Amino acid sequence: MTNDSDERSLPATGVDALLSGLDDEQRVVAKTLLGPVVVLAGAGTGKTRAITHRIAYGVATGVFPPGKVMALTFTARSAAELRSRLRPLGAGGVSARTFHSAALAQLNFFWPQVVGGDVPRLLEGKARLIGQVAETLRLRVDTATLRDLAAEIEWRKISNLSIEAYGLAARSSRTLPGTLSVEQVLDLQTGYERIKDERKQLDFEDVLLATAGMIESEPSVAMQVREQYRFFVVDEYQDVSPLQHHLLSLWVGDRRDLCVVGDASQTIYSFAGAQSAFLLSFASAYENSTVVRLEQNYRSTPAVVDTANRLMRGRTGALNLRASADQLGRGPEPSVTGHSSEASEARAVAAAAARLIVEGTKPEDIAILYRMNAQAAALEGALAEAGVTYQIRGSQRFFDLPEVKQAVMSLRAASVSISGEPLFKSVSDVLRSLGWSQSPPEGRGAVRDRWESLNAIMSLAEQQPARTSFRTFTDELLERQAGQHEPTISAVTLATLHSAKGLEWPTVFIIGLSEGLVPISYATTLDQVDEERRLLYVGITRARQRLLLSWAETGASRSQVRSASRFLAELGTRTADARPAG
């Protein structure tokens, strides 16, 4: 916590500018700079705003030397967003990285000193090597089983288990790939590690394991790492795995300047090793911790917030969200609609989306969420038939599109020689040379898709602060490209519930709310069903204003008869007991 002299060291207007836009709880987060801090932050409560202003306030008051701060998160996109928010707050010198990128940087630096030579080559994927081991063991495994074996190796490593310890877990609680026995899976994992070591290769998880090993075994490495970074902020702490938690503990050492932020109700990656227990036990693990609850929701209408609260009531670690007083009215009540089949559900949702667009809703303000990727097929056909432009989140990435790559290169090249002109003119001149125009081409198809991509870059330029230089804009564009921090495109978004986490839209459809889909059929234990509940909670809290839920009585096959999800009965939403429509 800064004292009064810290605040007087900076002009009052500077401090006020960093704190004035925060609510009371966010302000506590921002001003509690020293010691252990845990922020229990519900969906839509402004957690990213709170922690970025905390970092900026620490830098502005001189408590945080920028080079001594490490902000950690779990995806390159999230890290890029943190950096983009910190820069205009005067904290651009702070390192914001994923666990993996931070560990890889340390590994590249220390490996030549500790081990000698270059860092081993990183393995691009595990499946091929596992397949080679299977051949030597005379085991026949198909492609799907190879993928599942790779996932088991990843789970073992991020759970920080030896192969022997994994064997104990496999015998008691793991569902093994295909028809393989525990002994066969252990033999495959042992062979995988042996061949990988012989070839001097590391896989993705080894980067964290090797970094942790160096810090543990080499006092000089531990000293240098802890000298480099003194203050730590970890976002999405409910997603931390045992291996990441172990590495973080090594980075922090015996110091206490650690701030973690998370929401137990958004733990949806338990299958990948995430454990919300680290978040929920933080206050007891660190004596005299400051605990702050962010429960004021600024995203959703009271009607949506009430629905989310009902779903999570009484669950471990659940926060009680409060709708913001700034919301205009209660908003429309979320609705539930039943359908006779997945096809009729897809057609009804496509028609509703088309109707909203005709009434003035922007396509990019609509999302359709579902449990499994396979559910997108029926939606794609229905949306195309209804004349609705859509994009599938997680398909080809924006910055991998050929026209976008060309545009980024052209803008970068032009920024070297062009200066002094208004940013809009500089960017529009380059994009016009590539086929962009202020008015979109008529109709749908590849030409319109190309225009949408170039127009998304133009929109990024329009969103820049006044007096942003052309070079600064292209630097940010390159950073977005590296972090796959994609701009908004004018199209309805199709996404799985998992991939929707961290995003929001004014209108959200959640389809397929039937038993066997939500909760998924293989969620058989209480813990697994609770994870499915949290997944639905994440979907519900993506909606700002309008939430439309639906389910279908039959799947692709008429023999797949389903009932409405057990979760719908708990939501208190309108027409939850509706008969499936044709």
Please, where are the H alpha helices in 4-142?
4-8, 12-19, 24-31, 47-60, 76-86, 99-114, 127-136
Would you state the pLDDT for residue 445?
A: 56
Angle between helices 47-60 and 12-19 (to 10 degrees): 160
Q: Give yes or no on whether 15-103+209-294 and 304-395+491-571 have one common fold.
A: yes
The pLDDT of 131-152, averaged and rounded, is: 89
Question: Rounded to whole angstroms, how far apart are CA atoms 54 and 539?
Answer: 28
- What's the pLDDT tens digit per position in 205-252? 999 999 999 999 999 999 999 999 999 999 999 999 999 999 999 999
Question: Rounded to whole angstroms, how far apart are CA atoms 56 and 39?
Answer: 17
The pLDDT of 354-377, averaged and rounded, is: 93
Would you state the pLDDT for residue 557?
A: 56
Q: Are 206 and 121 in contact (CB under 8 A)?
A: no
Q: What type of residue sits at position 357?
A: I
Percent pLDDT > 70 in the chain is: 91
Predicted confidence band at 10 (pLDDT cuts at 50, 70, 90)?
Answer: very low
- pTM > 0.85: no
- Residue 303 CA, chain-centre distance (Å), reads 25
CATH of domain 15-103+209-294: 3.40.50.300
Q: How far is CA 144 from CA 131, 177, 179, in A?
A: 11, 9, 12
Q: How many helices (H) and strands (E) does the chain have?
A: 24, 16
Q: What type of residue sits at position 98?
A: T
Instruction: For residue 500, give both structure tokens.
Output: 């929707």
Q: 290 a known binding residue? A: no
Q: 35 a known binding residue? A: no
Would you state the pLDDT for residue 401?
A: 80
Predicted confidence band at 435 (pLDDT cuts at 50, 70, 90)?
Answer: confident
Q: 361 a known binding residue? A: no
Question: Rounded to whole angstroms, how far apart are CA atoms 534 and 362?
Answer: 28
Question: Rounded to whole angstroms, how far apart are CA atoms 83 and 536?
Answer: 30
Instruction: For residue 272, give both structure tokens.
Output: 């990948």
Q: 407 a known binding residue? A: no
Predicted confidence band at 4 (pLDDT cuts at 50, 70, 90)?
Answer: very low
Would you state the pLDDT for residue 325?
A: 63
**pLDDT at residue 408 greater than cutoff 80:** yes
Q: Which of 1-15, 200-214, 401-415, 545-559 has the highest mean pLDDT?
A: 200-214
Q: Specify the higher pLDDT residue, 124 or 45.
A: 45
The pLDDT of 299-318, averaged and rounded, is: 94
Would you state the pLDDT for residue 575?
A: 55
Instruction: For residue 219, give both structure tokens.
Output: 């006092």
Return the SS3 of 367.
Answer: strand
Q: 48 a known binding residue? A: yes
Q: 76 a known binding residue? A: no
Q: Are 103 and 207 in contact (CB under 8 A)?
A: yes
CATH architecture of the domain 304-395+491-571 equals 3-Layer(aba) Sandwich (3.40)
The pLDDT of 156-170, averaged and rounded, is: 93
**pLDDT at residue 174 greater than cutoff 90:** no
Burial of 490: CB neighbours in 10 Å, binned 0-12, 13-18, 19+: middle
Burial 130-141 (b: 16+ CB within 10 A, else e): bbebbeeeebeb
Backbone φ and ψ for 303, nearest 5 degrees, come out as -65, -40
Predicted confidence band at 11 (pLDDT cuts at 50, 70, 90)?
Answer: very low
Q: 42 a known binding residue? A: yes
Q: Any idea of the CA torsion for 477, 483, 489, 495, to the nearest 10 degrees? A: 180
Per this entry, what is the length of the chain? 582
Domain boundaries, the chain: 15-103+209-294, 125-199, 304-395+491-571, 398-483
**pLDDT at residue 5 greater than cutoff 70:** no
How many Å is the maximal CA-CA distance in the chain? 73
Closest C-alpha to 152, from 126, 131, 172? 126
**pLDDT at residue 94 greater than cutoff 50:** yes
Q: Is the dihedral of CA 138, 143, 144, 146 positive or negative?
A: positive
Closest C-alpha to 192, from 131, 141, 143, 142? 131
Would you state the pLDDT for residue 173?
A: 81
Would you state the pLDDT for residue 280?
A: 95
Predicted confidence band at 574 (pLDDT cuts at 50, 70, 90)?
Answer: low
Question: Rounded to whole angstroms, how far apart are CA atoms 401 and 492?
Answer: 18
Side by side, which strands form the sheet with 258-262? 95-98, 69-73, 231-234, 258-262, 37-41, 290-294
The whole-chain average pLDDT of the chain stands at 88
The pLDDT of 12-40, averaged and rounded, is: 88
Q: Are 505 and 366 in contact (CB under 8 A)?
A: yes
Question: Rounded to whole angstroms, how far apart are CA atoms 225 and 242?
Answer: 20
Closest C-alpha to 45, from 419, 320, 291, 248? 320
Closest C-alpha to 42, from 325, 260, 262, 240? 262
**pLDDT at residue 281 greater than cutoff 60:** yes
Q: Specify the higher pLDDT residue, 179 or 483.
A: 179
Q: Specify the higher pLDDT residue, 32 or 575.
A: 32
315 Cβ partners below 8 Å, 6+ apart? 265, 530, 533
Q: What is the DSSP string of 241-279?
A: -HHHHHHHHHHHTT---EEEEE-GGG---GGGT--THHH
The pLDDT of 61-90, averaged and rounded, is: 92
Question: Rounded to whole angstroms, how far apart are CA atoms 301 and 541?
Answer: 10
**Half-sphere exposure in the Cβ direction for 265 (13 Å, CA):** 25
Q: 47 a known binding residue? A: yes
**pLDDT at residue 347 greater than cutoff 80:** yes
Would you state the pLDDT for residue 7?
A: 38
Q: Specify the higher pLDDT residue, 480 or 195.
A: 195
Q: Are 2 and 61 in contact (CB under 8 A)?
A: yes
Predicted confidence band at 31 (pLDDT cuts at 50, 70, 90)?
Answer: very high
The answer to which of 124-138, 362-376, 567-581 has the lowest mean pLDDT is: 567-581
**pLDDT at residue 6 greater than cutoff 80:** no
The pLDDT of 433-443, averaged and rounded, is: 79
